[in-house]
A and B are shown apart, each in its own frame.
Chain A
Amino acid sequence: MFDLKNIAQENVHLFSYRELNILLDVNSGSIHVLDGAASDLFQALMEKKVMNTVIDKYGETAVQEAYQQLLAMQAEGLLGSKMDFDADSLLQDDSYIKSLCLNISHDCNLRCKYCFAGTGDFGGDRQLMSFDTAKQAIDFLLKASGPRPFCEVDFFGGEPLMNFDVVKDTVIYAKEAARKIDKEIRLTLTTNGMLLNEQVRRFLVEHKVKLVLSLDGRAETNDFMRPTASGRGSYERIIPNFQSMVEELDGVDYYLRGTYTKHNLDFSHDVEHMASLGFRELSVEPVVASKEEDYAISEEDYPKVSKEYDRLVDLYLDYQQKGDPFNFFHFNISLEQGPCLSKRLRSCGAGFEYLAVTPQGDLYPCHQFVGQPEFCLGNVTEGVKDKSISQTFKNTHIFNKKDCSKCWARFYCSGGCNANSYQQSGDLLTPYKTGCLVQKKRLECAIYLEVKKMLHAEGEV
């Protein structure tokens, strides 16, 4: 007699995290909190199990009530809702290149062991981008972005501050060129901090360049993976620079970000260390590496990684309760104001909305593909010559990825990182399994924290 008709497994996700049972209706994005009776009932219904144990545990009345409530939700489109549209036609719209990663320096003063850029040179020569090329890249972006009012440029490397003069000239040029045609260019610079001196900092603050500051956490973690060219640690030198930078930014418009590897699977301690140094905008992410590397994270590490995220949830709540909260990038989730569906079908836009530019001006789908000639799309002077590469990337939406089309996380993750997929499986459409596990874990933590916040605001906890 109990039956919820036609609810596909992939359209709902029920999980218990600590004291809460949370149900996500994937297609509507609606979120519900269930008590024990409703949660056990729903699970039994989805697994087509007999109800006796649930009824024995909660009593006939409670189970009937919960059942009626589930039926009502289903009728209102809040449970097991469907999604009827043709992804290909939705995604056939024009797209415009609106973001560039400028590899302003293919040279670096650190020798980070996991560097995908081959310790700065991307498998080529150690080169610096000329101002001329940077200017052409900006002109290319402003034109290619068509009607889009906002463009983004990230100064990247290698270490971009090894070519600071060109960064400076480009920042000034980009802002002015955008202003002339009523557009806005948002600028970011990713740096290891070695050259972040007072003069550099003043310039970045004055020109509202957002910062991504690279630190892996504790001194021993950081210095093991991020030594200088002469083999010494970088921690001592960069921390004061980062602290001054963040102070001068008034604590906003930056992220302190790190990478965790097999060598620091206890990375919650690294996040804790960052917080203890006074930083409040934090992000620490798993390394992207081929399986052969000794620091690569493999599926067998997942239980440990998962526990670390749980510890991070504790830490996050602790700081919040003390009235001194920190922001952990992957725990930010907007359950109500998130992006529209067409954005969620393919996330990063690499290859068709986002491109990377090498010091010579060559265009690649993103910084992770730089140096792989089969992915070169053209250059900043002539623009995109090989449109088929853009098309290939446009087609990497979640409905073309078998695993993603049935994954509950699909509208939050959007199919993962194409570069990761390509590195791990040699194919853009097959996501990287361990990455998926981590992604889903982080999402559960993020949803839990957000739900808790909402219940708290309503005075329920």
Chain B
Amino acid sequence: MSSKLHIKTLVNPKLQDTIKTGGCGNCQASCQSACKTSCTVGNQVCENK
């Protein structure tokens, strides 16, 4: 009997590995304050991809 899948993995960006590849520093500064909108890093995409 095959077992039912209870968990579905949607993404695995392997964040830990970006220690080695990242850090190019080309991305935008990201202010989080209420008077600017560039905000949280979670909202950004990498300039290097």
Answer whether A and B are interacting partners: yes
Taking the complex as formed, is A236 at the interface, i.e. its CB lies under 8 A from any CB of chain B? Answer: no
- Describe B's contact surface by its main secondary structure: loop
Which residue of A28, A340, A367 is within 8 Å of B22 (Cβ)? A340
Which residue of A32, A255, A412 is within 8 Å of B7 (Cβ)? A32
* A95 adjacent to B25 (CB under 8 Å): yes
Give chain B interface residues in 3-49, CB to chain A under 8 Å: 3-16, 18-19, 21-37, 39-49
Give chain A interface residues in 15-39, CB to chain B under 8 Å: 23, 27-35, 37-38
* B12 adjacent to A78 (CB under 8 Å): yes
Q: How many residues of A contact B (CB 8 A)?
A: 85
* B40 adjacent to A29 (CB under 8 Å): no
Which residue of A78, A96, A287, A348 is within 8 Å of B31 (Cβ)? A348
Taking the complex as formed, is A149 at the interface, i.e. its CB lies under 8 A from any CB of chain B? Answer: yes
* B19 adjacent to A348 (CB under 8 Å): no
* A150 adjacent to B4 (CB under 8 Å): no
The chain A residue sitting closest to B4, CB to CB, is A65
Answer whether A212 and B36 are a contact pair too, CB < 8 Å, given A65-B3, A83-B16: yes
Q: How many residues of B contact A (CB 8 A)?
A: 44
Q: Kindly list chain A residues whose C-beta atoms are within 8 Å of the C-beta of B36.
A: 154, 190, 212, 367
Q: Could you tell me the distance in whole angstroms from the C-beta of B34 to the nearest C-beta in chain A?
A: 4
Within the assembled complex, what's the spacing in Å between the Cα atoms of A354 and B7? 42
The chain A residue sitting closest to B14, CB to CB, is A28
- Describe A's contact surface by its main secondary structure: mixed
Which residue of B5, B21, B32, B46 is within 8 Å of A417 (Cβ)? B32
Q: Could you tell me the distance in whole angstroms from the C-beta of B23 to the nearest C-beta in chain A?
A: 4
Answer whether A85 and B19 are a contact pair too, CB < 8 Å, given A31-B10, A78-B12, A190-B36: yes
Which residue of B21, B41, B46 is within 8 Å of A347 (Cβ)? B41
* B45 adjacent to A337 (CB under 8 Å): yes
The chain B residue sitting closest to A257, CB to CB, is B37
Answer whether A339 and B7 are a contact pair too, CB < 8 Å, given A288-B33, A412-B40: no
Q: Could you tell me the distance in whole angstroms from the C-beta of B29 to the nearest C-beta in chain A?
A: 4
Within the assembled complex, what's the spacing in Å between the Cα atoms of A65 and B7? 10
Answer whether A149 and B44 are a contact pair too, CB < 8 Å, given A31-B9, A62-B4, A335-B13: no
Which residue of B10, B11, B37, B46 is within 8 Å of A340 (Cβ)? B46
The chain A residue sitting closest to B44, CB to CB, is A339
Which residue of B6, B14, B32, B35 is within 8 Å of A62 (Cβ)? B6
Q: Kindly list chain A residues whose C-beta atoms are within 8 Å of the C-beta of B3.
A: 65, 68
Within the assembled complex, what's the spacing in Å between the Cα atoms of A95 and B25? 8
Q: Kindly list chain B residues whose C-beta atoms are within 8 Å of the C-beta of A411.
A: 15, 41-42
Q: Could you tell me the distance in whole angstroms from the C-beta of A369 to the nearest C-beta in chain B?
A: 11
The chain B residue sitting closest to A288, CB to CB, is B34
* A338 adjacent to B41 (CB under 8 Å): yes
Q: Could you tell me the distance in whole angstroms from the C-beta of A263 to the nearest C-beta in chain B?
A: 14
The chain B residue sitting closest to A23, CB to CB, is B7
Q: Kindly list chain A residues whose C-beta atoms are within 8 Å of the C-beta of B8.
A: 32-33
Q: Kindly list chain A residues whose C-beta atoms are within 8 Å of the C-beta of B35.
A: 116, 190, 259, 288, 367-368
The chain B residue sitting closest to A33, CB to CB, is B8
* A27 adjacent to B12 (CB under 8 Å): no
* B11 adjacent to A348 (CB under 8 Å): no
Answer whether A283 and B4 are a contact pair too, CB < 8 Å, given A29-B14, A93-B23, A150-B26: no
Q: Kindly list chain A residues whose C-beta atoms are within 8 Å of the C-beta of B7.
A: 23, 32-35, 38, 66, 69-70, 73
Q: Could you tell me the distance in whole angstroms from the C-beta of A106 to the nearest C-beta in chain B?
A: 14
Taking the complex as formed, is A222 at the interface, i.e. its CB lies under 8 A from any CB of chain B? Answer: no
Within the assembled complex, what's the spacing in Å between the Cα atoms of A419 and B34? 11
* B25 adjacent to A330 (CB under 8 Å): no
Q: Kindly list chain A residues whose C-beta atoms are within 8 Å of the C-beta of B16.
A: 27-28, 81-83, 341
Within the assembled complex, what's the spacing in Å between the Cα atoms of A338 and B44? 6
Taking the complex as formed, is A205 at the interface, i.e. its CB lies under 8 A from any CB of chain B? Answer: no
**In the A-B complex, the 6 residue pairs with the closest CB atoms:** A340-B22, A412-B42, A29-B15, A340-B18, A38-B6, A99-B29
* Given A335-B13, A411-B42, 8 more pairs with CB closer than 8 A: A34-B7, A85-B19, A190-B36, A330-B39, A334-B44, A348-B29, A366-B31, A412-B40
Contacts from B to A (Cβ < 8 Å): 3-16, 18-19, 21-37, 39-49
A-B contact pairs, 13 of them (CB 8 A): A29-B15, A69-B6, A70-B7, A149-B26, A150-B47, A190-B36, A287-B34, A334-B43, A338-B41, A339-B41, A341-B16, A348-B32, A454-B10
